[in-house]
C-alpha cells in the first residue's frame, strides 16, 4: 500500500484516504501494541488541555481512573483560556432570578436556525439538557460568574453566563487548579501526540513526544517539526481527543475553504492545527462538516487575534449599540443576528477598499458590563472614547448628519420595542439608547474563530468509524475537534457548554 502523507491525503479526500489507509484492516494506519514497550501506563489518556480535556479529566479521575493529559504547547488551556468566557445554559439559576422563560426546544431552534438546519440534533439536545451539570462542575472547581446574564446574537432570550473576569481564563484556570490537586492525574506540557496504538481494533494507547517545541515559523508544524523524545503511553480504558479546532492550520483550512486568504487573522492560539484530527481520519473516523469554518464578527483590525475589543463588542456595542457603514453613517445589519449573518454583512463593507464598519455605544451601555472589559479595551487603544457624536464621527470620517439621523432612528426603535429595518430584538436591550456621553467607537472586522466540522461522535462521545459505521473501540472525542453539533454556524457562548458537556460525557462513558 502506498504511504499516505499529509498532502496526498487531501488530494484523496478525507474519507477516501481513510478507507485507502484502512483497506480491510482498521489497524493499518496505527501502531500494533504487540510491537510496543510502554514507558507509562494510565487508564485514560486525553489529548488537549482546554475545557473539554479538563472536563473529561476531572470526570474520569473522580471515578477513580488514572488519567494523563498531554498538551503540545507550553501553556495550558489552548483557545479556552483566551476566549470570552461565555457559557450558555438553558433553564439556569440566573434565568430563574431574572425571570427569563427558556426551554430546550427554544435553545435548539435558535441553534438550528444559526446552523442552517444541518446540525446533528441528537448531540445538540445533550448539551441543552446537561448545561446545568456543566455549570455545577466549573462552579465546584471555583469558577465565578458576573451577576447578570448576557444576551448574545442569535439567542431568543438571555441565557449566557459571563466569567467574572470577562475571559475564558476565569473558567479554565480554576479547573486546572482543581485537576492538578487530584492525585490520580498527570499533566504533561510540551508533549505532542503522534499516533494511536491499537490492540486488534481497539485504541489502547498513544505515541507522543516529550520536550516538543511548537515552531510557528514552520509552514506545517504537524508535518515538519521533529523535536522531542518519543514515548509510548498505554491507555487501558481508552483515549479522549480534545485537541480543539484547526483555524491556524493555513494549509488545511484553505483546502476546506479556498476563499479564506492565507493571511487571514484568527482569534485562535497558533497551535490550533489539524494534526490530531487527521490522525483520527486515518484511523477511519467519519468527517463531518469540515469545510464549514466560522468567522467571529466582533473583532477589531487594530489588534491581533481575539484581543480586547471582541469582548467589548460582544457585551456592549452589539447588544446596546449599533454598527454603521463608515462611508454612509447608516446601519447595515441586525447587530444581534447570528455570527454568520453578521460576518457576511461586514465582509461586504470590509472588502470594499478596507471600509471597516464602526461599532458605537454610549456610557449607559458601558455601565452595564464588567468594568475590566471596557478598561482593557480602552487601554489597548482599540476602543476609543469621545465627548460627542460630532467628535466620534470626525475621528472615523463618518458623515455626521447621517450618523445622527441613524442614531435618532435607532433610539426611536428602542423606545417602540421594534426594529423594522433589520429586526434586531431591541425589546430585549433594556431600553438602552445611544444618548449619554461619552460615546465609544471601535473598528470592526470578522476573524477566523471556530471550525464547525470534525469527527462524528455519538451521544456517548464515542468516535464513529467510516469503515464499520460503529464506534471505534476505545476512542472518544469532545469539543471543537468534533463536528455536526452546531451545523454551518455556531451561536456565541455555545462552544464552552459543548466542550464541558461532552468532556463530561466522555469521562463518564470511557
pLDDT of residue 2: 36
Domain locations along the chain: 29-292+452-509, 297-447
Residues in Cβ contact with 37 at an 8 Å cutoff, skipping those fewer than 6 apart: 232
Strands 40-47 and 384-386: unpaired
Q: How far apart are the first and last CA of the chain?
A: 33
| Rounded Cα distance, 398 and 330, in Å | 9
Beta strand spans in 423-502 (E)? 439-443, 445-451, 454-455, 462-464, 471-477
pLDDT of residue 27: 46
What SS3 string covers 153-189? CCCCCCCEEEECCCCCHHHHHHHHHHHHCCCCEEEEC
Give the predicted TM-score (pTM) of the model: 0.88
- Identify whether 339 is a catalytic site residue: yes
**pLDDT tens track, the chain, 510 positions:** 334 344 444 434 444 444 444 443 444 568 988 889 999 999 999 999 999 999 999 999 999 999 999 999 999 999 999 988 999 999 999 999 999 999 999 999 999 999 999 999 999 999 999 999 999 999 999 999 999 999 998 999 999 999 999 899 999 999 999 999 999 999 999 999 999 999 999 999 999 999 999 998 998 999 999 999 999 999 999 999 999 999 999 999 999 999 888 888 999 999 999 999 999 999 999 999 999 999 999 999 999 999 999 999 999 999 999 999 999 999 999 999 999 899 999 998 988 678 999 999 999 999 999 999 999 999 999 999 999 999 999 999 999 999 999 999 999 999 999 999 999 999 989 999 999 999 999 999 999 999 999 999 999 999 999 999 999 999 999 999 999 999 999 999 999 999 999 999 999 999
> 3-class DSSP state for residue 360?
strand
Exactly one of 253, 339, 342, 490 is catalytic; name it.
339
Residue pair 57/188 in contact (Cβ under 8 Å)? The answer is no
Task: Please give the angle made by the CA atoms of 479, 444 and 341, to the nearest 5 degrees.
Answer: 60
Residue pair 242/46 in contact (Cβ under 8 Å)? The answer is yes
Burial of 451 (0-12, 13-18, 19+ CB in 10 A): buried
DSSP 190: S
Cα 357 versus chain centre, distance: 24
C-alpha grid cell for residue 299? 473583532
Strands 31-32 and 192-199: parallel
What SS3 string covers 309-339? HHHHHHHHHHHHCEEECCCCCCECCCCCCCH
Residue pair 17/255 in contact (Cβ under 8 Å)? The answer is no
- List alpha helices for 422-493, DSSP H: none
pLDDT of residue 488: 95
Q: How many CB atoms lie within 10 A of CB 182?
A: 14
C-alpha grid cell for residue 166? 470577562
Residue pair 185/192 in contact (Cβ under 8 Å)? The answer is no
Residues in Cβ contact with 83 at an 8 Å cutoff, skipping those fewer than 6 apart: 167, 168, 267, 306, 495, 496
Select from 3.90.700.10, 1.10.20.60, 2.40.128.690, 3.40.630.30 the CATH code of 297-447.
3.90.700.10
Query: In this structure, what is the dihedral angle of CA atoms 324, 82, 240, 58, given to the nearest 10 degrees?
Result: -120
C-alpha grid cell for residue 162? 459571563
Helix (H) or strand (E) holding 74: none
Select from 2.70.170.10, 3.30.300.20, 3.40.50.2000, 3.50.50.60 the CATH code of 29-292+452-509.
3.50.50.60
Phi, psi dihedral angles at 434 (to 5 degrees): -105, 90
C-alpha grid cell for residue 472? 471505534
pLDDT of residue 263: 85
C-alpha grid cell for residue 95? 434565568
| Rounded Cα distance, 452 and 292, in Å | 5
What SS3 string covers 368-396? CCCHHHHHHHHHCCCCEEECCHHHHHHHH
Cα–Cα nearest to 163, from 138, 134, 128: 138
Residues in Cβ contact with 29 at an 8 Å cutoff, skipping those fewer than 6 apart: 4, 18, 21, 22, 279, 282, 283, 284
Amino acid at each position: 500500500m502506498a504511504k499516505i502523507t499529509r498532502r496526498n491525503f487531501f488530494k484523496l479526500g478525507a474519507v477516501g484516504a481513510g478507507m485507502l489507509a484502512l483497506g480491510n484492516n482498521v489497524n493499518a494506519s496505527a501502531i500494533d501494541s504487540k510491537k510496543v514497550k510502554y514507558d507509562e501506563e494510565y487508564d485514560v489518556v486525553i489529548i488537549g488541555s482546554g475545557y473539554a480535556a479538563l472536563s473529561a479529566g476531572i470526570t474520569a479521575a473522580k471515578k477513580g481512573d488514572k488519567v494523563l493529559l498531554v498538551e503540545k504547547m507550553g501553556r495550558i488551556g489552548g483557545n479556552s483560556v483566551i476566549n470570552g468566557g461565555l457559557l450558555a445554559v438553558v433553564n439556569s439559576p440566573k434565568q430563574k432570578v431574572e425571570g427569563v422563560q427558556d426551554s430546550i426546544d427554544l435553545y435548539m431552534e435558535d441553534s438550528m436556525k444559526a446552523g442552517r438546519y444541518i446540525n446533528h440534533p441528537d448531540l445538540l439536545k445533550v448539551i441543552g439538557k446537561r448545561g446545568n451539570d456543566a455549570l455545577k462542575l466549573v462552579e465546584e472547581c471555583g469558577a465565578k460568574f458576573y451577576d447578570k446574564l448576557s444576551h448574545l446574537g442569535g439567542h431568543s432570550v438571555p441565557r449566557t453566563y459571563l466569567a467574572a473576569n470577562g475571559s475564558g481564563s476565569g473558567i479554565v484556570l480554576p479547573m486546572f487548579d482543581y485537576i492538578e490537586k487530584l492525585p490520580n492525574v498527570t499533566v504533561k506540557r510540551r508533549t505532542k501526540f503522534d499516533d494511536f496504538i491499537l490492540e486488534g481494533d481497539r485504541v489502547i494507547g498513544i505515541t507522543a513526544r516529550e520536550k516538543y517545541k511548537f515552531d510557528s515559523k514552520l509552514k506545517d508544524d504537524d508535518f515538519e517539526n521533529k523535536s522531542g523524545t518519543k514515548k509510548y503511553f498505554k491507555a487501558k480504558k481508552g483515549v479522549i481527543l480534545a485537541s480543539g479546532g484547526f483555524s491556524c492550520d493555513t494549509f488545511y483550512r484553505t483546502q476546506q475553504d479556498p476563499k479564506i486568504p492565507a493571511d487571514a487573522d484568527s482569534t485562535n492560539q497558533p497551535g490550533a492545527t489539524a494534526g490530531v484530527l487527521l490522525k483520527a481520519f486515518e484511523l477511519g473516523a467519519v468527517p463531518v462538516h469540515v469545510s464549514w469554518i466560522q468567522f467571529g464578527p466582533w473583532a477589531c483590525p487594530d489588534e491581533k487575534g481575539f484581543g480586547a475589543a471582541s469582548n467589548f463588542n460582544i457585551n456592549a456595542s452589539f447588544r446596546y449599540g449599533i454598527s454603521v457603514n463608515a462611508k454612509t453613517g447608516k446601519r447595515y445589519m441586525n447587530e444581534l443576528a447570528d455570527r454568520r449573518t453578521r460576518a457576511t454583512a461586514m465582509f461586504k463593507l470590509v472588502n470594499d477598499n478596507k471600509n471597516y464598519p464602526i461599532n458605537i455605544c454610549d456610557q449607559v451601555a458601558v455601565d452595564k458590563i464588567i468594568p475590566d472589559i471596557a478598561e482593557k479595551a480602552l487601554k489597548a487603544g482599540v476602543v476609543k472614547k469621545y465627548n460627542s457624536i460630532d467628535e466620534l464621527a470626525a475621528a472615523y470620517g463618518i458623515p455626521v448628519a447621517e450618523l445622527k439621523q441613524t442614531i435618532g432612528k435607532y433610539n426611536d426603535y428602542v423606545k417602540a420595542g421594534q426594529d423594522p429595518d433589520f429586526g434586531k430584538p431591541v425589546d430585549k436591550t433594556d431600553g438602552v439608547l445611544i444618548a449619554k456621553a461619552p460615546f465609544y467607537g471601535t473598528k470592526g472586522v470578522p476573524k477566523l474563530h471556530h471550525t464547525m466540522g470534525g469527527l462524528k461522535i455519538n451521544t456517548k462521545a464515542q468516535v464513529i468509524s467510516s469503515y464499520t459505521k460503529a464506534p471505534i473501540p476505545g476512542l472518544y472525542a469532545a469539543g471543537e475537534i468534533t463536528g455536526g453539533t452546531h451545523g454551518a454556524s455556531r451561536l456565541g457562548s455555545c462552544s464552552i457548554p459543548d466542550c464541558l458537556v461532552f468532556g463530561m460525557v466522555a469521562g463518564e462513558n470511557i
